[in-house]
Amino acid sequence: MLILLLGIILLHIAALVLLFVSTIVSAWTTGKGSTSDLWVNCTTSCVPASAGEWIQAVQALMILSIIFSCLALFLFFCQLFTLQKGGRFFLTGAFQILASLFVMSGAIIYTVMSPQWVPETDTFGYSYILAWVAFPLVLISGLIYVILRKRE
C-alpha cells in the first residue's frame, strides 16, 4: 500500500520535474552554435525571443501545465487526508489530465509553427523532446488518480 502511494507520488514528481526542465532550459531548437527556446535566442549573445503570437501561446501553455500539475500534487495531498474511504481522487486526476492536455497543445503548436521562426538547418533540441516525454507521463499519472480508490 505504502509502496503504491510512493510510486504514484514519484511518478507525479518526475513528470513535474520534466515539465520544469523543459520549460526553463533553453534548448527547444539547436543548430550549429545556436540554441533557441521559448524565451531567448542564443548564438554568441542572447536576444529575447521574437514576440510572435504563437510562441507566446506556447510559453503560456507550458507555464499553465506546470501550475496545474503543482496544483494537482497539492490537491492529492489534501484529498489523501480528507477523502472518505473508497473515494476516488477525481479532482486530482482532472487537474493532472488538464495539465497533460496543455503540454500536448504547447508541443503541437511549437511543432507546427517552428518552421516559421527557425531556419531549416536547425533540429529540435532536448527540451522539446522532454516536453513530448512529459506529456504521456502526466496523462498516465492523471488516469491513475482517476482510477485509484482510497483505502485504509
Partner 1 sequence: MQLIQRLLYVAEQDSCRVFGKPGTTMLAVLVSIVSLGIVAQQCQAIVIYTGWERHALVGSDIRLSCSFFSWRWTSEDVTFSWTYRPDGSRDSISIFHYTGGEAYLDNKGPFKDRLEFVGNPGRRDGSILIKNLDFNDNGTFTCDAKNPPDIVGRPSSVRLLVFEKVPIQAGVITGAIIGVVLGLLVLVVVIYYLMRFLVARRVFSLNVSKHGKKKKEGSQQRQGPAPPADPSKVKAAASEKKKQESRKDKK
- Tally the C-alpha atoms within 13 A of residue 75's C-alpha that lie toward its C-beta: 18
| Residue 104 within binding range of partner 1, rule CB under 8 A | no
| Residue 57 within binding range of partner 1, rule CB under 8 A | yes
Among 14, 42, 63, 148, binds partner 1 (CB under 8 A): 63
* Cβ distance to partner 1 smaller for residue 16 or 99: 99
Among 32, 44, 48, 115, binds partner 1 (CB under 8 A): 48
Which range binds partner 1 by CB under 8 A, 22-30, 52-60, 107-115, 138-146?
A: 52-60
Q: What is the DSSP letter of 88?
A: B
Contact 145, 46 (CB under 8 A): no
Residue-level length of the chain: 152
- Look-up: residue for cell 503560456? 60
| Residue 148 within binding range of partner 1, rule CB under 8 A | no
Q: What is the DSSP letter of 121?
A: T
- Look-up: residue for cell 488518480? 145
In the complex, which residues of this chain contact partner 1 (CB under 8 A)?
48-49, 51-53, 56-57, 59-61, 63-64, 67, 83-84, 86-88
